């Protein structure tokens, strides 16, 4: 065998060994207690609509998943610094597009305004923006964006200073029950789970005011993923939608389909 052939053969062999030794695709995926999207199940395992959808999609893409528990506000910081790879249910916003790629819509999430039973007629809001002309005490989660009207409300510094922001939504429900705030913004599916759990379903109700109704994409850290990976993810989610597996995951937790 000629020296050049030997050298090429050795190089190919080394390249093959390096490829075989290369780490498999592993992605970190954030979760927190936010039923039905992510939660600790009765079995002790972690599951939920968003988690199961993303775990299955990433599995089909040849990736294993490492679940990391953290609040949403911290997850955004970790995503920005590349310490978290995937954040499900993060709405696309200009400030987030500086450090994250966003998938096509996966699930639709409707945020509603909740009040104590009997209080809605007193306020009679038709739009969230009407709150800034009132003494209404609003509660919201730190780092969560609830749609364009909420963003506009937060740009009103006089009103924004009075908004009560905490990281744990359970605390907001308890504050609402005790009259320390007048309303809470929350996803209607999550709220149903939590109010039943806290035995507040008869005291706190969903009003008719829809705060936002937009599809929720998945965010990927720019530091650990590229646009091609996100396109593969989009194709995978679409395939799951076509073969019915996406709907089956939703039905597993909600009993009915949720519009994409």
- The span from the CA of 31 to the CA of 46, in Å, is 8
Whether the model pTM is above 0.75 = no
Question: Would you call the peptide bond into 74 cis, given omega within 30 degrees of 0 as the criterion?
Answer: no
- Of 59, 27, 31, give the one whose Cα is nearest residue 47: 31
Residue 175: which pLDDT band, with cuts at 50, 70 and 90?
A: very high
C-alpha Rg value of the chain to the nearest Å = 22
Residue 4: which pLDDT band, with cuts at 50, 70 and 90?
A: low
Q: What is the DSSP string of 24-80?
A: PEEEEEEE-SBTTTBEE-TTS-EE-HHHHHHHHHHHHTTEEEEEEE--HHHHHHHHH
User: Do the Cβ atoms of 27 and 67 come closer than 8 Å?
Assistant: no
pLDDT at res. 110: 85
- The span from the CA of 184 to the CA of 173, in Å, is 7
Residue 8: which pLDDT band, with cuts at 50, 70 and 90?
A: very low
Residue 124's CB is within 10 A of a number of other CB atoms, namely 10
Would you mind telling me the total number of residues written for the chain in this entry?
A: 260
The alpha carbon of 123 is separated from its chain's Cα centroid by a whole number of angstroms, namely 30
Please name the residues in contact with 168: beta carbons below 8 A apart, sequence gap of 6 or more: none
Question: DSSP label at 142?
Answer: T
CA distances from 19 to 16, 41, 58, 64, 229 (A): 5, 38, 21, 18, 19
Kindly state the average pLDDT of the residues 170-176: 95
Residue 255: which pLDDT band, with cuts at 50, 70 and 90?
A: low
Residue 190: which pLDDT band, with cuts at 50, 70 and 90?
A: confident
Q: How far apart are the first and last CA of the chain?
A: 61
- Of 132, 211, 140, give the one whose Cα is nearest residue 175: 140
47-73 pLDDT, tens digit each: 999 999 999 999 999 999 999 999 999
12-60 pLDDT, tens digit each: 444 444 444 445 899 999 999 888 899 999 999 999 999 999 999 999 9
193-252 pLDDT, tens digit each: 789 889 999 999 999 999 988 888 999 999 999 999 999 999 999 999 999 999 999 888
Name the residue with higher pLDDT: 158 or 258: 158
Residue 76: which pLDDT band, with cuts at 50, 70 and 90?
A: very high
Residue 64, φ and ψ in degrees, nearest 5: -90, 165
């Amino acid at each position: 065998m000629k020296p050049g052939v030997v050298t090429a053969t050795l190089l190919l062999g080394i390249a093959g060994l390096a490829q075989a030794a290369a780490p498999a695709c592993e992605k970190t995926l954030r979760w927190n207690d936010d039923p039905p999207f992510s939660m600790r199940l009765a079995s002790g395992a972690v599951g939920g609509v968003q988690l199961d959808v993303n775990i299955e999609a990433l599995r089909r893409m040849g990736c294993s998943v490492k679940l990391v528990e953290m609040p949403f506000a911290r997850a955004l910081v970790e995503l920005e610094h590349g310490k978290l790879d995937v954040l499900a249910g993060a709405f696309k916003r200009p400030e987030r597009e500086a450090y994250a790629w966003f998938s096509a819509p996966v699930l639709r999430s409707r945020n509603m305004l909740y009040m104590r039973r009997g209080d809605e007629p007193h306020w009679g809001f038709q739009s969230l923006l009407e709150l800034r002309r009132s003494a209404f005490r609003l509660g919201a989660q730190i780092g969560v964006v609830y749609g364009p009207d909420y963003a506009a409300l937060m740009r009103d510094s006089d009103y924004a200073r009075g908004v009560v922001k905490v990281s744990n939504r359970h605390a907001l429900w308890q504050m609402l029950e005790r009259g320390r705030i007048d309303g809470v913004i929350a996803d209607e599916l999550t709220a149903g789970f939590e109010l039943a759990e806290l035995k507040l379903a008869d005291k706190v109700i969903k009003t008719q005011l829809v705060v936002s109704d937009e599809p929720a994409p998945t965010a990927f850290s720019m530091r650990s993923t590229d646009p091609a990976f996100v396109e593969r993810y989009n194709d995978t989610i679409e395939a799951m939608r076509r073969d019915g597996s996406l709907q089956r995951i939703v039905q597993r937790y909600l009993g009915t389909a949720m519009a994409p």
